[in-house]
Structure 1
Amino acid sequence: MKFDTAYSLNLDEKLSIYDVRELNFDETAAYDSDKDHFLCPNDACRAAFEAGNTLSTFNAKNVNYRRTPHFKNKSGTRHIDGCRYASNHKGAAGESDDDREDHFPSEFVLTRRTYPRKMPLAGAEGQPPQDLPEIPTTRTNASVSPSDATPDKTSVFAHPVECYVSNIDDKDKLKAMPLKIGEHTATYWAFFKKIEYLQDNKGLIYWGRIKAIKDYTNSFRIDFEKKVWLDKKPYSVNVYLSKKLIDNYRKRKAFLEQIKAAASSDQPLYCFFYGVTPELKQVPSKKNPEQTFGVFSANIENLDHLIIREAPGLG
Structure 2
Amino acid sequence: MKFDTAYSLSLDDKLSIYDVRELNFDETDAYDSDTDRFLCPNDTCRAAFDAGNVLSTFNAKNVNYRRTPHFKNTPGTRHIEGCRYASSHKTATGESEDEREEHFPSEFVLTRRTYPRKTPQAGTEGQVPQAPAKPPSTRTSASVGANDTTPDKTSVFAHPVECYVSNLDDKDKLKAMPLKIGGHTATYWTFFKKIEYLQDNQGLIYWGRIKAIKDYTNSFRIDFEKKVWLDKKPYSVNVYLSKKLIENYRKRTAFLEQIKAAASSARPLYCFFYGVTPALRQVPSKKNPEQTFGVFSADIENLDHLIIREVPAAEAG
The TM-score bracket by the shorter chain reads over 0.9
Structure-2 residue corresponding to 1:79: 79
Aligned residues of 2:51 and 2:131 also touching (Cα < 8 A): no
Structure-1 residue corresponding to 2:166: 166
Structure-to-structure mapping, 1:90-105, within 5 angstroms: 95-105=95-105
Rate the CA distance shift 1:247–1:119 in 2: closer, same or farther, 3 A.
same
* Identity fraction in percent: 85
CA distance in structure 1 between the aligned counterparts of 2:41 and 2:74, rounded to whole angstroms: 15
Rate the CA distance shift 1:18–1:236 in 2: closer, same or farther, 3 A.
same
CA distance in structure 1 between the aligned counterparts of 2:152 and 2:94, rounded to whole angstroms: 15
Structure-1 residue corresponding to 2:140: none
Structure-2 residue corresponding to 1:13: 13
Task: Give the letter for the 1:222 counterpart.
Answer: I
Structure-2 residue corresponding to 1:141: none
CA distance in structure 2 between the aligned counterparts of 1:265 and 1:128, rounded to whole angstroms: 39
CA distance in structure 1 between the aligned counterparts of 2:268 and 2:93, rounded to whole angstroms: 32
Long gaps (5+) in structure 2: 137-144
Task: Give the letter for the 1:236 counterpart.
Answer: S
Structure-to-structure mapping, 1:24-173, within 5 angstroms: 24-89=24-89, 95-120=95-120, 128-130=128-130, 132-135=132-135, 146-173=146-173
Matched, 1:298 2:303: no
What is the TM-score with the length of structure 1 in the denominator? Answer: 0.93
What is the TM-score with the length of structure 2 in the denominator? Answer: 0.93
Structure-1 residue corresponding to 2:218: 218
Matched, 1:190 2:190: yes
Task: Give the letter for the 2:240 counterpart.
Answer: Y
CA distance in structure 2 between the aligned counterparts of 1:207 and 1:90, rounded to whole angstroms: 33
The offset of 1:99, in angstroms, is 0.2
CA distance in structure 2 between the aligned counterparts of 1:107 and 1:39, rounded to whole angstroms: 25
Structure-2 residue corresponding to 1:278: 278
Rate the CA distance shift 1:52–1:179 in 2: closer, same or farther, 3 A.
same
The offset of 1:217, in angstroms, is 0.1
Aligned residues of 1:180 and 1:186 also touching (Cα < 8 A): yes
CA distance in structure 2 between the aligned counterparts of 1:301 and 1:8, rounded to whole angstroms: 31
State the secondary structure of the residue aligned to 1:163: helix
CA distance in structure 2 between the aligned counterparts of 1:204 and 1:275, rounded to whole angstroms: 8
Task: Give the letter for the 1:165 counterpart.
Answer: V
Matched, 1:4 2:4: yes
CA distance in structure 2 between the aligned counterparts of 1:114 and 1:4, rounded to whole angstroms: 18
Aligned residues of 1:229 and 1:235 also touching (Cα < 8 A): yes
Aligned residues of 2:279 and 2:298 also touching (Cα < 8 A): yes
The offset of 1:314, in angstroms, is 1.1
Structure-1 residue corresponding to 2:288: 288
Rate the CA distance shift 1:49–1:247 in 2: closer, same or farther, 3 A.
same
Aligned residues of 1:213 and 1:223 also touching (Cα < 8 A): yes
Rate the CA distance shift 1:90–1:246 in 2: closer, same or farther, 3 A.
closer
Task: Give the letter for the 2:247 counterpart.
Answer: D
